[in-house]
Structure 1
Amino acid sequence: MKIQYKHILLFAIAVFSISCKKYLDVIPDNTGTLDYTFRNRNEAENYLFTCYATLQQLNDITSNAGFTTSSEIIYPNNLTNHPINEIGFALIRGTQSSNIPGLDFWDGENSGQAVYRAIRRCNTMLENIDEPADLTPAEKSRWIAEVQFLKAYYHYYLARMYGPIPIVDKNLPVTASTEEVRVKRAPMDTVCNYIVGLLDKAIPNLPPVIQNQAQELGRITQLIALSVKAEVLVMQASPLFNGNPDYAGFKDKSGTALFSPTYDVNKWVKAAAACKTAITQCEAQGLRLYTFTPPATIPGNLSDSLKKVLTIQNTVTERWELNPELIWALNPTWGWQGYCTPRLTAKALANPFSNPGTFAVPISTTELFYTDKGVPINEDKTWGYSSRYNLQTGDNASRFYVEKGYTTVRAHFAREPRFYANIGFDGGVWFGNGVLSQENAYYIQARGNSSLAGPQDLIFLNVTGYWPKKLVNYTSVYDDGFIPVDFRMPLMRLGGLYLLYAEALNEASGPVADVFTYIDKVRARAGLQGVQASWAAYSNNPTKFSSKDGMRQIIHQERRIELCFEAQSGWDLRRWKELQSVLSVPLQGWSIYENQALNYYRPSTVITPVFGLKNYLWPIKDDDLIVNPNLVQNPYW
């Protein structure tokens, strides 16, 4: 009987319980059962799904450093209960160590993080793909391509965390000697070239898109593989890995340099070409930027203001099969909406236990978003940056963003639509939650912790007074209990690919026409003018976009805004070598227990992050270095 893709994860749990570990998972376990495993097509298909299983485990956002160490979210460390995996959130507090590394995907003590074990399963699949006699040639070609992609992606996942890694192209036999098992780390460029080579092999034999979405949505396509190839090449070209002087002289024990000591602009040229190819193929298959069309359940004519907000929210929370922008998402639904939702009703306040609301956004993240003129708040000569914490009352003109008559701060007014789509704030309108009349929408009342919890109840505490609104489907309802409308967190969407191309092209050629074309597509969807028009008219640095350096700053901020809360910024900031700077200042929120606006709107430090040069790459566990003397530790650990 065919096992549908949506059942992959359940099937794989049993497989994860059978494992062995010796240096790295490079030797296959369960060797005696392989003949049975590949005796026919159905059994082989089951094994194909186990190759996918670790990919689905990566859907756990609390174990994704791109989310937990991005500076976008603060999770409190003083809760009376600990309902989630807090290790990733704690890393910016300086808890990382080489003794017991947090989020250890190298050693993989947690089965969901055993990425080398997943690579070993892929190798086993490829080594036995000829065994099932009833497997058709077309299926065989597709399955090989899928597993080649998965093998490439697992190597990529490790490489962006650890840099140079051992390449496990084939499983070693169970008779392998100790020295054979003691693998070495390959140079970073060798690793990236290997990953790209696997993707190039896979792409021709993958379907362009999934036709049978009910059965196969989530399986790998050409568009996914092309987009991942672009992302890998951009990583390879980025400052962390492209001639980084901090890693000059880092060698293995045989004297092989593990990083190229010289910057190579050609890597950006290759990355830009790969991005453009991926974009061309995506658009040829009908992908386009998402825009929200109000359903019949929303009465009357929805204001342009709320249409823009819902376009941006639904770019992430729309169902995959209805979202023309979504290139790839992981198949399990995203399960943390309750951590992103404030209490908006009397019943929710009385019954907080189904919705903790503890994913808190620091003030620094909210200040990333532009003014309504499309430039940074500290550059807009019309906005008044220095008075942003002054009090201001909601008026009729801003009523779809800020509750009319409610006192909040100037920082919450005259901001771009993405600010209102991404951020829930004191006095901010929250459209949805069961009320679809724009004139009667809920708004957040956070002062005095009234929509949070009292200080005596630290299970349910938002420590800044800001919520990641973008990660909540507007049709989810938190009232007497929580009824979420599920969605799948995007790994790749067209808007992100446009910005990746703009970045790579700017680094390769400077701010040429296509750089503006693709960044402006994303800005236009957000209701903003193009970069050149916005900066020329409103910025106190009106020619910033005319240089490569200036345009780089614009693109980096644009990516952080557009992809905020999507587990992308943490990885971007690492490859740009900017995370250390971002985490060099305290992360602050408002004085959440104060009732009066004048006292509430005083910034209060929540975390003073600890992030040094060594933290750009993960440490390898000390025990692994003892067991395998051919390995070398990452720099500065």
Structure 2
Amino acid sequence: MKIKNHINNRLAGVLYLTLLLAATSCGKYLDVTPENTGTIDYAFRNRNEAENYLFACYNTLQSLASNIDDPGFITSGELYKHSYDVTLNTRNFLLISGTQNTSSPILDYWTGQNGGKNIFQGIRRCNIMLENIDKPIDLTASEKERWMAEVNFLKAYYHFFLLRMYGPIPVMDRTEDISQPVEVFRNKRQPVDSVFSYITGLLDKAIPGLPPSISNINQELGRITKTIALSVKAEVLATQASPLFNGNPDYANYKDKDGVALFPGTADNSKWQRAAEACKAAITQAEGLGLKLYSFIVPPAIPKLNDSLRVLLSIQNAVTERWELNSELVWALNGVFSHQQNCIPRFSANGNYFNVPGDISVPLAIAELFYTRNGVPIEEDKTWDYPNRFAFKVAEPADRYYLKEGYSTTRFNFDREARYYSDIGFDGGTWFGAGVLKQEAMLYVAAKKGSLSGVQEYGYANVTGYWPKKLVHYMTAYNTDGGLQKTDFRMPRTRLADLYLLYAECLNEANGPSQEAYTYIDKVRARANLNGVVTSWQQYSSAPGKPLAKEGLREIIHRERRIELCFEGKAGWDLRRWKKYVSQVSKPIQGWNVMQSDQNAYYTLQTYLVPVISNKDYLWPLSGDALLTNDKWIQSPFW
């Protein structure tokens, strides 16, 4: 039984505490209901009750597993759902259309409204746990050390979650003392560097007491390890070093009501060196436990697998493989990705399109990010005909593992890197799996109207003509009734490729291009069957010297992260911390005219949404109610 089941089965044992804590979760976390001392004492009277409370501390973390409520996933611009959708709430997807507001913010994790969770409530549970950990007399010293370490990690992560969303936040380092005047525990939003230091201090306190890995997978998979904590510390420090938080001139005049500056006025490049050291420590820890980039192991159910398809499945399964079998997965939450039916095209003629809507779309701009087969951008490859990329071409036998042989589709889909074919489904593209495990009989996407995967009803339509194939397990298949039988997976929060590219980024920002930075970029590229970054640019790019300059390598690393980690909820945070969010996500959401059956008419570019975002969207707003709760808080910048 994993930790999620522990929570579900045992949370009833602390329901009385949850109800008390809920008094602070209704949009006013400082409206504190006095704790019943007897109730707290009962909750920590013995080891069993205290463990119940530990899992209550985890409960907020597990609630963050919903991708549709994940700000990094939903506001990345990587995925789009049109407003006519009838199978899944599109409100969050449409945040980029200018629907965010201050009266009732969408995904409000400050007060727990509109799809958000009250993160302050989770922090308060952690404080109560730490303040009462000495009470259970039958708790062993080793258990106490581990539990305290886990709770300190959770407390750090909850603060980090809020910091990425809101920037300056109040630090909750203790439970409110209700015997004091209310003004005493009305915390202010703290300067971001103070919050970052507080978070890393908690992580440093937690790391020594955490186990390196989980040995009892059936009972404890999902609990925090030293490897997870080190990887989060690396991400925290890289975020602190990034332009959004490190000397951002846009926030130079953002101060609290007492005139205290909430962002540093000048950039400190030494922060990148600290982040690089943290990345290397996390990588060393992970690799010391045997973690390595995932490589697909062909199961007996697959009679034969071409090397090209093996590469594709290595890339795809780095995300969709079961945690305990995934050599690359550092951390995932226990909730499964629950929207495969929205990401897969319709392949079954007998299927009910209401059951398999396939209506999460990939904008054309995201498809353009992926390299050519030579490992450089399509607009830079000297051998790739970029001006005529939307002309038509018929797939030949040499293309058969990526495109349906004899199928006519746009040249845009030809001669692309392996990650393009593993991550994205498109008209004429092959799809290994979905119930067919013979490579000679692979399914393919026929996306024009009237074709098998084409529009059946507009409310259930993929409107761009591109599907996020990466988010569908290859064993997810149609049953005899035409419905979808899903093979579940957990969306990674951190995997080794993420750490490799983050390390390369930090090294380059700290000291410029280096052989070590190239090495870690090239490790990730090698799995996609691409040559090293320097060699690829020298041989094929119209800008051959780009990897040799700090600014050029920065651009390459940013694109590598966007490609390698596409659809994994990373881009929404990366683009913000790089200060590229407005320039990148404001690009029009475009795709093909999926209501057409004729090839020429289908491949007519359509604009489905022009995003409405500006500098204010780098940080989330506070609601008016939250500001009324505490007169020391100020609104987020530009709201």
- TM-score w.r.t. length of structure 2: 0.96
Q: 1:608 to 1:3 in 2, by over 3 A?
A: closer
CA contact (8 A) 1:26 1:171 kept: no
Aligned to 1:55: 61
For the residue of structure 2 that corresponds to 1:427, the secondary structure is coil
Cα RMSD (Å): 1.6
In the alignment, which residue of structure 1 is the partner of 2:36? 31
The 1:309/1:615 distance shift into structure 2, 3 A limit, reads same
CA distance in 2, matches of 1:504, 1:420: 29
Q: Distance in 1 between matches of 2:33 and 2:474?
A: 46
| 2:321 is equivalent to residue 315 of structure 1 | no
1:627 to 629, 634, 637: 629
Whether the aligned pair in 1 keeps the contact of 2:189 and 2:633 (CA below 8 Å) is: yes
Find the counterpart in structure 2 of residue 508 from structure 1. 510
Instruction: Describe the SS at the equivalent of 1:588.
Output: strand
Corresponding residue for residue 477 of structure 1: 477
Question: 2: distance between equivalents of 1:9 and 1:54?
Answer: 13
Q: Find out whether 1:609 has 2:615 as its counterpart.
A: no
- Unpaired runs of 5+ residues, structure 1, are none
Question: Is 2:403 the counterpart of 1:398?
Answer: no
How does 1:387-536 map onto structure 2 within 5 Å? 387-448=388-449, 450-451=451-452, 454=455, 457-479=457-479, 480-536=482-538
1:261 maps to 265
Opposite residue 345 of structure 2, the aligned amino acid is P
Structure 1 residue 374, shift from structure 2 partner: 0.2
Match of 1:202 in 2: 206
Q: Distance in 2 between matches of 1:77 and 1:169?
A: 42
Amino acid at match of 2:350: K
Cα distance change of structure 1 residues 445 and 191 upon mapping to structure 2, 3 Å threshold: same
- 1:37 to 1:529, Cα distance in 2 relative to 1, 3 A: same
1:12/1:49 contact within 8 Å kept: yes
Counterpart mapping for 1:269-288 below 5 A: 269-288=273-292
Name the residue aligned to 1:69: 75
Structure 1 counterpart SS, 2:100: coil
Contact 1:434 1:475 in 2 (8 A): yes
Show the counterpart of 2:119.
115
Q: Tell whether the 8 Å contact from 2:447 to 2:455 is kept in structure 1 after alignment.
A: no
Q: Quote the Cα distance in structure 2 between the aligned partners of 1:520 and 1:572.
A: 20
Read off the aligned partner of 1:586 and give its amino acid letter: P
Output one character per residue of 1:348-374: Cα deviation in whole Å (capped at 9) or x when no partner: 2xx122222111001001110000000
Quote the Cα distance in structure 2 between the aligned partners of 1:506 and 1:433.
Answer: 41
Q: Report the CA distance between 1:85 and its aligned residue.
A: 3.9
The alpha-carbon deviation at position 177 of structure 1 amounts to 1.8
Change (3 A) 1:452 1:406: closer
Check if 1:325 corresponds to 2:331: no
Point out the more displaced range, 11-20 or 336-345. 11-20
Could you report, residue by residue, the CA deviation over 1:345-398 in whole angstroms, capped at 9, with x for unpaired residues?
2122xx122222111001001110000000000000000111110001111000
1:304-355 deviation digits (Å, cap 9, x = unpaired): 110111000100000000011000000122111111111012122xx12222
After TM superposition, give the deviation of residue 29 of structure 1 in Å. Answer: 6.1
420-429 or 166-175: which moved more? Answer: 166-175
Superposed, which structure 2 residues align to 1:162-173 within 5 Å? 162-173=166-177
Could you tell me how far apart the structure 2 residues matched to 1:9 and 1:555 are?
41
Aligned counterpart, 2:340: 337
Instruction: Give, in angstroms, the shift of residue 35 of structure 1.
Output: 1.3
After TM superposition, give the deviation of residue 454 of structure 1 in Å.
4.6
Matched residue type, 1:340: C
Residue range with higher mean Cα deviation, 618-627 or 137-146: 618-627
User: Take 2:206 and 2:322, find their aligned partners in 1: how far apart are those partners?
Assistant: 27
Residues 235 and 367 of structure 1: CA distance in aligned 2, closer, same or farther (over 3 Å): same
- Identical aligned pairs, as a percentage? 53
Residue identity matched to 2:354: F
TM-score normalised per structure 1: 0.96
Whether the aligned pair in 1 keeps the contact of 2:106 and 2:113 (CA below 8 Å) is no
How big is the shift at 1:515? Answer: 0.6
CA distance in 1, matches of 2:124, 2:165: 19
Contact 1:87 1:103 in 2 (8 A): no
Q: Who is 1:8 aligned against?
A: 7
Q: Measure, in 2, the Cα distance between the counterparts of 1:384 and 1:129.
A: 65
Amino acid at match of 1:31: N
What is the SS of the residue equivalent to 1:367? Answer: helix
CA deviation map 1:121-153 (0-9, x unaligned): 000100110111110000000000000000000
Asked if the contact 2:365–2:587 (Cα under 8 Å) also holds between the matched residues in 1, the reply is no
DSSP 3-state at the match of 1:346: coil
Q: Which consecutive residues of structure 2, in runs of 5 or more, have no partner in the other structure?
A: none
CA distance in structure 1 between the partners assigned to 2:3 and 2:635 by the alignment: 42
Q: Residues of 2 paired with 1:199 and 1:4: CA distance?
A: 21
- Tell me the secondary structure at the aligned position of residue 385 of structure 1: coil
